Structure formats: C-alpha cells, structure tokens
C-alpha cells in the first residue's frame, strides 16, 4: 500500500496562498487517482480536488473552483494543492488520498474510492 506524507500547511490571512504537498513512497503508481480532502471541526470530510496522474484530468469541488489547483510531479512522486484567495471557511485539516484506479467523475469526492491516506496537514485562514 502506498504511503503518503503531506506538508505545507500553516496559518495565513484571508486572501493569502498556500501550497500543500503530498509525497508518495516508491510504490507510487503512475496510473491512479490522487486527491485532496479536508475536514473542519464538527464537519464531515469533503473532497476538494483530484487528479488522474497518468493524464491531465482534474476535478474540483465547486467551493474551490477558480481558487485551487491540483498538479503533479511524477518524477518526484508528489501531488500539490495550490490554494489561492484563501477564505476562513477553507480552514481545515487537509488530507491526501490515493487510489489504484482512475478517478471516477461521479465519485472522486467519495472517501471510499481511496485506499491510502496521509496523516493530514492543518490549514488555518484568519479574517
């Protein structure tokens, strides 16, 4: 099972930017779906963005479209989440997730699609 490690979280003011990184270990597969989820206190975990790492397909939650971008660097076995124009409601623990299957357009945001998870990195946005 792939091992994932997130980094890059922190505290920023509203309107600021952060870049999260998710590095996979040597068993990272080139044909799979990688995603970012987030969970705020008292709320359910929600899918934020996903990328099919063998191609260019990306998926985003409506709440982050136009502000966040998910990219990959296969040479580094790393997926990034570029977060711009951050809002206080973006504050949450962010988790990286991996699936050995392609992203499914109608299901990429479902937790059960993924079999590997990172430990999470905290993002706090102040107003």
**Dist. CA 3–CA 41, nearest whole Å:** 25
Query: Under DSSP, is residue 14 helix (H, G, I), strand (E, B) or coil?
Result: coil
**Once rounded to an integer, what is the mean pLDDT over residues 3-27?**
93
Portion of the chain with pLDDT greater than 70, in percent: 95
**Dist. CA 48–CA 70, nearest whole Å:** 9
**Phi-psi label, residue 77: left if phi above 0, alpha if psi -120 to 50, beta otherwise:** left
**Once rounded to an integer, what is the mean pLDDT over residues 54-79?**
93
């Amino acid at each position: 099972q792939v091992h994932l490690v997130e980094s890059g979280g922190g505290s920023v003011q509203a309107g600021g930017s952060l870049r999260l990184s998710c590095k996979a270990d040597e068993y990272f597969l080139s044909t799979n779906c990688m995603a970012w989820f987030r969970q705020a206190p008292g709320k359910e975990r929600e899918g934020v963005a996903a990328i099919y790492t063998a191609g260019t397909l990306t998926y985003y939650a409506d709440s982050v479209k136009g502000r966040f971008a998910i990219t990959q660097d296969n040479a580094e076995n790393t997926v990034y989440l570029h977060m711009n124009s951050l809002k206080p409601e973006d504050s949450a623990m962010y988790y990286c997730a991996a699936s050995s299957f392609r992203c499914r357009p109608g299901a990429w945001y479902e937790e059960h699609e993924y079999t590997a998870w990172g430990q999470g990195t905290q993002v706090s946005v102040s107003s």
